[in-house]
Structure 1
Amino acid sequence: MCDPSQKHVLLVFAHQDGKSFNGALKDAAIDTLRSLGHSVEVSDLYSQQFEPRATKNDIRGPLQDPDLFNYSEEGRLAYRHNCQSLDIANESDKLKRADLVIFQFPLYWSSVPAILKGWFDRVLCDSFAFDFESQNVLDQGFMKYGTLRMCGFDVLPPQISYGTKLVEEPTRQQYLKDWKCRLQNIFSEEPLSLPKLSDFDHKSLMLHEENGKKRVSSIGHRNNP
């Protein structure tokens, strides 16, 4: 009989070298979560040579409109008709199995690396990760707003390791210790409070006065080099 306290975690790793501090944080998460009885699956994007570009190659079979390629529409139909490329389908299956998703990445220009952005672009497609026609979140802002919450994630605060190339080894070890400590109770954390689209006036995109403060809620663990 399945133990409801045991969860399945997907860790999406977006660093070129597993021996990096990002790699150490990844390994710490895997070891800690497994020691607690949870199962962990890893998408190592660089090792997988994950293709970040969204192209016609993502659709198997004939296109809906071969004369004017619309990636969003073609991707939506490909998912509905089971015609996605195999690498996208594999990542989608991993997401379906996950109770928690951890994004482990270095911070590049205040954003995620291109390979992880490509993962978002290709894997989180319309009809699988969200329904564009009935989306209920504001489609703007950084990863927490315009990506994760839009796709229905309960978003947890990020775990940030600052200046890992500049700090001394005891500080890096403390980062690892803090991360392991947080993971002990990660499934009981309160999600962040993010606004829904229904909280905004559709014409002005301003918050309705009565919804000035409202609550919403995956975790992105980023390493700030």
Structure 2
Amino acid sequence: MAPTSRTLWVFAHPDDKSLNRLLFDSGVGHLRESGQTPIVSDLYADHWNPVLSDEDLGGVHAPTLGHRQKLATRTGRLADDIRREQSKIAAADRVIVQFPLWWFGMPAILKGWFDRVFTNGFAFGVLDEQGRVRKYGDGGLTGTTFLAVVSAGDRESAFDPRGVNGAMDEVLWPLLHGTAHYTGMRTLRPHLIASADRVDDLRLRGEVERLHRRLDGLDDEPPMNYRDLRGGDYDDEHVLRSDIRPGVTGLGVHVGGETLH
């Protein structure tokens, strides 16, 4: 990892004695030892407000919430805490979000971070030179690498393609494809810490080392091979062309050359 790179690490876990906290502190420390100056958003410690409302939008007037959000973004009237988080993203080459898997999704505080910070006109709703909305492989966050660091209580095999929970790529589809890829980010496979409530000292050292190795290789790691909307695989109605994997449906058809695993 290049010393000049900037990483924003968004952390969402309420327990200061958790495995997640230890890995977060260790990971941020490793980035510093590598010559970086990581940027941190510790949502519970910061008492982040996860609720999107018109109070975020500086009193602008427009017919819909989406229009008001875009106007507030364009005119610099978003709430101060939102603008601070957007400044962190704009300054970063990489965004890491770390959270425990709760009911197959993010904690509400992290979902609310995305709701409030990824505004219309900043992360999405931006136009290309032809006046088309940039999304799915292109967007307001193009050029940024995205990694989700996720802990789960179940064993790793339960997140295999035939595991009872489903493959982690599919469990996190809304985040990986519907948020990161949608906004143009270079999306990496999630970093799973399985059996997170059953980690002894030996395995803990292994998890720390595994995370550090992952951080060191982010620049060279190939991204998820999601199909880009403007890459020629979709028709004008945003449907996969009939000659591509004909007869096959499901999330995996939107991954080029492979199925999810």
Q: TM class by shorter-chain length?
A: 0.7 to 0.9
Say whether the 8 Å CA contact 1:194–1:214 is kept in structure 2.
yes
**Contact 1:200–1:208 (Cα < 8 Å) also in 2:** no
TM-score (norm 2): 0.73
Q: Which of the residues 203, 210, 226 maps onto 1:178? A: 210
1:17 to 1:97, Cα distance in 2 relative to 1, 3 A: same
**1:178 alignment partner AA:** R
Q: Alignment partner for residue 200 of structure 2, among 158, 168, 176?
A: 168
> Which residues in structure 2 correspond to 1:67-82 (within 5 Å)?
70-82=64-76
C-alpha distance in 1, partners of 2:205/2:82?
Answer: 35
83, 93, 98: which one aligns with 1:89: 83
Choose from 240, 246, 256 the match for 1:206: 240
Distance 1:5 1:168, change over 3 A: closer
Tell me the percent identity.
Answer: 31
Tell me which residue corresponds to 1:137.
136
Superposed displacement of residue 127, structure 1: 1.2
Number of the residue aligned with 1:118: 112
Name the SS for the 1:10 alignment partner: strand
Give the drift of 1:169: 3.1
> Which residue of 1 is the match for residue 148 of structure 2?
none
Shift of 1:208: 4.8
CA distance in 1, matches of 2:201, 2:19: 11
Amino acid at match of 1:30: V
TM-score of the pair, normalised by structure 1:
0.83
Distance in structure 1 (CA, Å) of the matches to 2:241 and 2:208:
39
Secondary structure, counterpart of 1:142 in structure 2: helix
Mapped to 2, the partners of 1:141 and 1:202 lie a distance apart of: 23
Residue 64 of structure 1 aligns to a residue whose secondary structure is: coil
**Corresponding letter in the other structure for 1:129:** A
Shift of 1:17: 2.3
Query: What residue is the counterpart of 2:23 in the other structure?
Result: 25
Q: CA deviation at 1:71?
A: 2.2
Match of 2:53 in 1: 55
Question: Are the aligned partners of 1:164 and 1:172 in contact in 2 as well (CA < 8 Å)?
Answer: no
Taking the aligned partners of 1:185 and 1:112, their CA distance within structure 2 comes to 25
Q: Distance in 2 between matches of 1:82 and 1:92?
A: 11
Q: For the structure 1 residues 20 and 191, does the alpha-carbon distance in structure 2 shift closer, same or farther, using more than 3 Å as the test?
A: same
Q: Is the 8 A contact 1:9 1:41 kept in 2?
A: yes
Q: Which letter maps to 2:182? A: M
1:12 CA drift (Å): 0.3
Q: Secondary structure at the match of 1:61?
A: coil
Label 1:188 to 1:159 Cα distance change in 2 as closer, same or farther (>3 A).
same
Give the ranges of 4+ consecutive aligned residues of structure 1 lying more than 6 Å apart after TM superposition: none
Q: Secondary structure at the match of 1:187?
A: coil
Q: CA deviation at 1:141?
A: 4.1
How much does 1:18 deviate?
2.9
Q: Which has the higher contact order (CA 8 A, sep 6+)?
A: 1
Matched position secondary structure for 1:125: coil
Report what 1:193 is aligned to: 225
Q: Is the 8 A contact 1:105 1:112 kept in 2?
A: yes
